[in-house]
Chains A and B, each alone.
Chain A
Amino acid sequence: KNQVEQSPQSLIILEGKNCTLQCNYTVSPFSNLRWYKQDTGRGPVSLTIMTFSENTKSNGRYTATLDADTKQSSLHITASQLSDSASYICVVSAGSNYQLIWGAGTKLIIKP
C-alpha cells in the first residue's frame, strides 16, 4: 500500500534555531516528492519538488533532501522565524497518472 509517514507529528522550537522534519514513504513507482507549507486554515503552498535523481534542493532557508534508496526525505529549516509556524506536508507522486499520496504533516511552532 502506498504510504507517506511524517515525523515528528509536532515540534516546538525557539526562534532562530534550526530544525529538520522527516518523511518516509513506501510509494511505487515513485515519480516525484514535494514539500508543502500550510498555514492554519489556508491552502498548501509548495516549497520544493524533487525527482528521483535529485538529492538536495533549496528554497531560501528551506533545504530538502531525498534518498531514493532508503525512501526518505527531510526538510531542514535554517534560522527559523515566527512566520515559519505552520504545518509542513510531504507529498509523493506515484505512477504515470501521478497519484498523490499525502503525509499527515508536521505541525511546527516557533516560539519567540
Chain B
Amino acid sequence: DADVTQTPRNRITKTGKRIMLECSQTKGHDRMYWYRQDPGLGLRLIYYSFDVKDINKGEISDGYSVSRQAQAKFSLSLESAIPNQTALYFCATINQGFTEAFFGQGTRLTVV
C-alpha cells in the first residue's frame, strides 16, 4: 500500500457542485496537510492538521473546508466549486521534526 493515498486521482466537476477529496496515510504521523499546485507556482498550503482535534487554515483556505476523521484520514471539501479551483491537489503527511515527509500522488481537479 502507498504511504499516502489520495482519491480520486482525477475529477471533472461543474461550477457550483460540492466535491470532496480524500486522503489516507499509513505512516502514523500526526501532521497532515493539503496543498494546491498551479502551473509555475510553488505548492500553496490550504489547510493543515496537527492532530484529530487541531485544524488550521493555510494561506489559501477560502472556498475550502477540511475534516480530520481519524489520525490516518484528512479530507478536503470544496463546498461550491468554481473554475479557478482547477488545480492539482496534494495531501502530505509529515512527522514532527520534518525528517519524514510523504506526499500522495495528487488529485487533478477540473471545474468547468
Which chain A residues have a beta carbon within 8 Å of chain B's beta carbons? 4, 31-32, 34, 41-46, 49, 89, 93, 98, 100, 102-105
Contact = CB atoms under 8 A, between A and B. Distances in A.
Contacts of A102: 42-44
B94 A98 contact: yes
Nearest to B35: A102
Given A89-B42, A105-B42, A45 B98 contact: no
23 contacts: A4-B42, A31-B98, A32-B99, A34-B101, A41-B88, A42-B106, A43-B4, A43-B90, A43-B105, A43-B106, A46-B101, A49-B98, A89-B42, A89-B43, A93-B98, A98-B31, A98-B94, A100-B33, A100-B98, A102-B42, A102-B44, A104-B40, A105-B42
Q: Which 7 A-B pairs have the closest CB atoms?
A: A43-B103, A102-B42, A104-B42, A93-B98, A98-B98, A102-B43, A44-B103
Interface residues of B, number: 23
Contacts of A105: 42
Contacts of B104: 43
Contact of A34 (B42, B43, B90, B98): B98
Given A41-B108, A46-B101, 6 more contacts: A4-B42, A34-B101, A41-B88, A42-B105, A98-B31, A103-B42
Nearest to B41: A104
A73 to B, nearest CB: 15
B42 A45 contact: no
Contacts of A41: 88, 106, 108
A9 to B, nearest CB: 8
Nearest to B101: A46
Most B-side CB within 10 Å, residue of A32, A43, A89, A104: A43
Interface in B55-112: 88, 90, 92, 94, 96-99, 101, 103-106, 108
